[in-house]
A and B are shown apart, each in its own frame.
Chain A
Amino acid sequence: MANMSQAIRMALHYGETHLGVKEIFGEDVGPPLGGVFTATQGLERAWNSPLDERGILGAALGLAWAGSRPVAEIQFVDYIFNAVDMLKLCANGRWSSGGRWGAPLVIMTPTGSGIHGSMYHSHSFDSIAAKLHGMKVVCPSTPIDAYGLMIAAIRDEDPVLYLKPKALLRSKGEELIPGEPADEKTLRGMIDAPIGDRSKWKPRWPKLTDYAVPIGQAKISHAGSDATVVTHGRMAPICLDVARGLESAGRGSVEVLDLRSLIPYDWDAITASVKKTGRVLFVNEETEIANLAEHFIRRLVDEMFYELKARPRLLCGKATPGVGLAVNLENFIQPQKTDVERAIAELLADPA
Chain B
Amino acid sequence: MTAARIPDLYKKLGAKRLLEIHRLMVRARLLEERLIKMSKGGDGFFWIGGPGEEAFNVPLGLMIKKGRGVDHDYLHLHYRSSAILLAMGADPADTLRQMRSTAADPYSKGRNFVNHYAIPEWNVTPVSPTIETHYTTAIGTAIAQARAKTDAITMANGGDAGSAEGDFHSCLVWANRPALPLPILIIVINNGYGISTPVSTQHGERRISDWAKTFPGMPGATVDGNDVAASWAALEEAFAYVRKERRPYILEARASRLYGHSSSSGANRVPEPDCIELFETALARRGLVKPAQFAAVREREAVALDAAHQKARAEPFPAPESAWEDVFAAGLPPSYPTKGGS
- Give complex CA distance A101, B141 in Å: 13
Residue B308 is within 8 A (CB to CB) of chain A in the complex: no
Residue B263 is within 8 A (CB to CB) of chain A in the complex: no
Residue A78 is within 8 A (CB to CB) of chain B in the complex: no
A101 touching B166 in the complex, CB below 8 Å, given contacts A63-B144, A95-B111: no
Q: Are B137 and A62 in contact (CB under 8 A)?
A: yes
Contact of A55 among B130, B145, B173 (CB under 8 A): B173
Residue of B nearest to A57 (CB): B136
Kindly identify, within residues 91 to 126 of chain B, every residue whose CB is under 8 Å from any CB belonging to chain A: 105-109, 111-112, 116, 118-120, 125-126
Q: Are B143 and A59 in contact (CB under 8 A)?
A: yes
Q: Are A61 and B137 in contact (CB under 8 A)?
A: yes
Contact of A99 among B177, B325, B333 (CB under 8 A): B325
Count of chain A residues with Cβ under 8 Å from any Cβ of B? 49
Q: Are A86 and B336 in contact (CB under 8 A)?
A: no
Contact of A64 among B109, B130, B140, B173 (CB under 8 A): B140
Residue B142 is within 8 A (CB to CB) of chain A in the complex: yes
A153 → chain B closest CB, angstroms: 13
A264: B residues at CB distance < 8 A? 328, 333, 335-336
Residue of A nearest to B118 (CB): A97
Q: Are B128 and A89 in contact (CB under 8 A)?
A: yes
**Mask for A213-238, Cβ within 8 A of B = 1, else 0?**
00010000000000000000000000
Contact of B118 among A98, A156, A157 (CB under 8 A): A98
> Interface size bucket, B side?
35 or more
B56: A residues at CB distance < 8 A? none
Contact of B108 among A55, A65, A97 (CB under 8 A): A97
**Mask for B140-154, Cβ within 8 A of A = 1, else 0?**
111111010000001
A91 → chain B closest CB, angstroms: 9
Residue A58 is within 8 A (CB to CB) of chain B in the complex: yes
Contact of A65 among B109, B141, B147 (CB under 8 A): B141
Q: Are A96 and B111 in contact (CB under 8 A)?
A: yes
A59: B residues at CB distance < 8 A? 136-137, 139-140, 143, 174
Q: Are A100 and B119 in contact (CB under 8 A)?
A: yes
Kindly identify, within residues 243 to 281 of chain A, every residue whose CB is under 8 Å from any CB belonging to chain B: 264, 267-268
Residue A323 is within 8 A (CB to CB) of chain B in the complex: no
Q: Are B120 and A22 in contact (CB under 8 A)?
A: no
Residue A158 is within 8 A (CB to CB) of chain B in the complex: yes
Q: Are A101 and B333 in contact (CB under 8 A)?
A: no
B301: A residues at CB distance < 8 A? none
Residue of A nearest to B104 (CB): A98
Residue B57 is within 8 A (CB to CB) of chain A in the complex: no
Q: Are A158 and B106 in contact (CB under 8 A)?
A: no
B228: A residues at CB distance < 8 A? none
Q: Are A52 and B173 in contact (CB under 8 A)?
A: yes
Contact of A97 among B126, B133, B342 (CB under 8 A): B126
Kindly identify, within residues 137 to 188 of chain B, every residue whose CB is under 8 Å from any CB belonging to chain A: 137-145, 147, 154, 166-167, 170-171, 173-174, 177, 179
- Give complex CA distance A216, B330 in Å: 12
Residue A50 is within 8 A (CB to CB) of chain B in the complex: yes
Residue A133 is within 8 A (CB to CB) of chain B in the complex: yes
Kindly identify, within residues 321 to 342 of chain B, every residue whose CB is under 8 Å from any CB belonging to chain A: 325-330, 333-337, 342
- Give complex CA distance A65, B105 in Å: 21
Q: Are B126 and A93 in contact (CB under 8 A)?
A: yes
A58: B residues at CB distance < 8 A? 133, 135-140, 167, 170
Q: Are A96 and B125 in contact (CB under 8 A)?
A: no
Of A66-74, A172-180, A196-204, A307-315, the one with at least 4 CB within 8 A of chain B: A66-74
A298 touching B342 in the complex, CB below 8 Å, given contacts A98-B111, A99-B325, A158-B328: yes
Q: Are B173 and A94 in contact (CB under 8 A)?
A: no
Residue B259 is within 8 A (CB to CB) of chain A in the complex: no
Q: Are A89 and B133 in contact (CB under 8 A)?
A: yes
B136 → chain A closest CB, angstroms: 2
A27 → chain B closest CB, angstroms: 13
Q: Are A62 and B142 in contact (CB under 8 A)?
A: yes
Q: Are A98 and B70 in contact (CB under 8 A)?
A: no
Residue of B nearest to A135 (CB): B328
Q: Are A95 and B174 in contact (CB under 8 A)?
A: no
A54 touching B136 in the complex, CB below 8 Å, given contacts A62-B143, A66-B70, A95-B111: yes
Q: Are A23 and B143 in contact (CB under 8 A)?
A: yes
Q: Which 3 residue pairs spanning A and B have beta carbons closest together?
A: A62-B140, A58-B136, A66-B144
- 11 inter-chain pairs at a CB distance below 8 angstroms, sorted by A residue, are A54-B170, A66-B74, A86-B136, A89-B137, A97-B118, A99-B325, A100-B119, A101-B126, A267-B335, A268-B335, A299-B337
Interface residues of A (CB under 8 A from B): 22-23, 47-50, 52, 54-55, 57-68, 70, 85-86, 89, 93-102, 133-134, 136, 156-158, 216, 264, 267-268, 295, 298-299, 302
